[in-house]
Structure 1
Amino acid sequence: MKITGITVVIPTHPFRVRNGMLARAVKSVEQQHLTPDDLIIEIDKEGLGAATTRQRGLEKVSTEWVAFLDSDDWMYPEHLKVLAAGARAHKADYLFSYYMVHRRDGTPWPENDPLGHFGKPWNPAAPHQTTITTLVRTDIAQAVGFIDPPEGSTVGGHRGGEDWHFTIGCRDAGAHIVHIPRRTWAWVHHGLNSSGLPDRGDAAIR
């Protein structure tokens, strides 16, 4: 299977534009060993939340594949290359690798597998959270889309966000989902993480 084109979609909000987080995320995309064909940045100026903002970006994608990145995180240089190679090797429709937890200043966080999912193959019968930093076939992603999660939605005791519901939607659409057991991106724990909610964390700073 040939990977014919990748677009990276980054949803963000004004505070992360001002404090430099978005610029760091964009730089990590520019430094990829596999150069994406396009980069779409959507800024949530209205306070609508991550689901709506990411959906707005997704609707603009015209390449065969779409990769998602939150604006407070960053990709390691091999991220897209590793996932694209996995897509070819496994004939997959949806791929996720794993992260290293970092502080805002870039230093590593002591705990780097808080949910205990690293290296565990994706099991559609007993799904677990994959995060949104994924590579997905665009036709499947656009057919499923992003929705605001139902009130009180949880996954293993944690809030089930739009990323979780997107994953379940892709599973139910028949996507072949594969976990690549490599740490290829940075999840940043900066104390103001918003979990996709416009009234939480740094998303609430207008």
Structure 2
Amino acid sequence: MTKRAVGSVLGQTLPASAILVEQDLHQAGAAATRDRGLRKVTTEWTAFLDSDDQFRPEHLAELMACAEETGADYVYSWYLPVGFGSDPLPHFGKPFDPANPTQTTITVLVRTELAQTVGFREPPPGALIDGERFGEDFLFTVECLAAGAHIVHLPKRTWIWNYHGSNTSGQPNRGDARS
């Protein structure tokens, strides 16, 4: 899976200036693994991608263009679900509302300085949004917002979410998460 994910980064129309692969070898969880990797980033912008997903060729170019056009600090697009019958997060195309934030995913483009200031951590046990448990992805988004981030949703499907039944999102033992 990691090979496919990295290959999708290498195939971008806007080349990535660096690639960092961080593995959860000690099962510390997605938040700890993402945070450990994030601390090593030295570029102005960071784009996250889990090992079981992939960028479409225009992903980075589309998100960077959106950030430049809107002055955003944090841009998220949407995914093409593969292996899943419907979209479990029905927020595609809806502008981000800072007064009423909704769940996004972690496949975002964010200013590195902002991301490193906020960092990643696990949400408190039982944390809910819209009646459903939320994870470190949404907590990161909410904390970026609290830090003053201008967050924009690009209503395009620029990446592929490969659902295979063993994705770690929402599971207590998050297993082999990578960022």
Specify the TM-score bucket, using the shorter chain as the normaliser: over 0.9
Please identify the structure whose Cα radius of gyration is greater: 1
Counterpart selection for 2:126 from 139, 152, 160: 152
Q: How far does the alpha carbon of each residue in 1:140-195 deviate from its partner, in whole angstroms, 9 at most, with x for none?
A: 00000000111111222222110100000000011000000000001111011111
Q: In structure 1, which of residues 129, 132, 137 is the aligned counterpart of residue 106 of structure 2? A: 132
* 1:72 aligns to 2:72 (yes or no): no
Residues 47 and 198 in structure 1, CA contact (< 8 A), matched pair in contact too: no
- Counterpart residue number, 2:160: 186
Q: Could you say which structure has the greater relative contact order, defined with CA pairs below 8 angstroms and 6 or more residues apart?
A: 2
How far 1:67 sits from its partner (Å)? 0.5
Q: Is the 8 A contact 1:51 1:196 kept in 2?
A: no
What corresponds to 2:66 in structure 1?
A: 86
Are positions 1:110 and 2:85 aligned together?
Answer: yes
Q: How many residues align?
A: 177
Which of these residues, 44, 47, 60, is aligned with residue 40 of structure 2? 60
User: Is contact 1:49–1:196 with CA below 8 Å preserved after alignment?
Assistant: no
In 2, Cα distance between equivalents of 1:118 and 1:167: 16
Query: After the TM superposition, which segments of 4 or more aligned residues of structure 1 sit over 3 Å from their partners?
Result: none
Greater CA deviation, 131-140 or 156-165? 156-165
Q: CA deviation at 1:203?
A: 3.5
Equivalent AA in structure 2 for residue 55 of structure 1? D
Does structure 1 retain, via aligned residues, the 8 Å contact 2:23–2:176? Answer: no
**Aligned partners of 2:171 and 2:23: how far apart in 1?**
14
Instruction: Calculate percent identity across the aligned residue pairs.
Output: 55
Query: Counterpart amino acid of 1:203?
Result: D
* C-alpha spacing 1:134/1:174, structure 2 compared with 1 (3 Å): same
Superposition TM-score, scaled by structure 1 size: 0.82
Partners in 1 of 2:58 and 2:22 — Cα distance? 24
- 5+ long unaligned stretches in structure 2: none
Equivalent position amino acid for 2:121 in 1: I
RMSD: 1.5
